[in-house]
Amino acid sequence: MSFASIRQEITTWDETALRHLIAYAVVLQDRKSCHLGAELARKLNDPDPARWIPLEELDRRLGLRPDELAE
């Protein structure tokens, strides 16, 4: 399948399907990045609560609605 065919196909998808594709593409890109895992681990292990946010705030910043998270 050509890239042009893929581009044409995804223009017909709804917003939820596009979000899933974007998330999948980001995961694939992250797997190819060697330093990303270490950087993410560093951020997750940050002991300073001043830099923490509640999960609800993260969802809001990412533009996720509660009904989308159950999928």
pLDDT, tens digit (0-9, with 9 covering 90-100), for 18-41: 999 999 998 888 787 777 778 888
Q: Where are the domains of the chain?
A: 3-69
Q: What value does the mean pLDDT of the chain take? A: 87
N- to C-terminal Cα separation, the chain: 28
DSSP state of 21: H
Give the model's pLDDT for residue 71. 52
Cα separation, 44 vs 58, whole angstroms: 13
Instruction: Write down the pTM of the prediction.
Output: 0.46
Give the model's pLDDT for residue 33. 77
5 confidence band (pLDDT: 50, 70, 90): very high
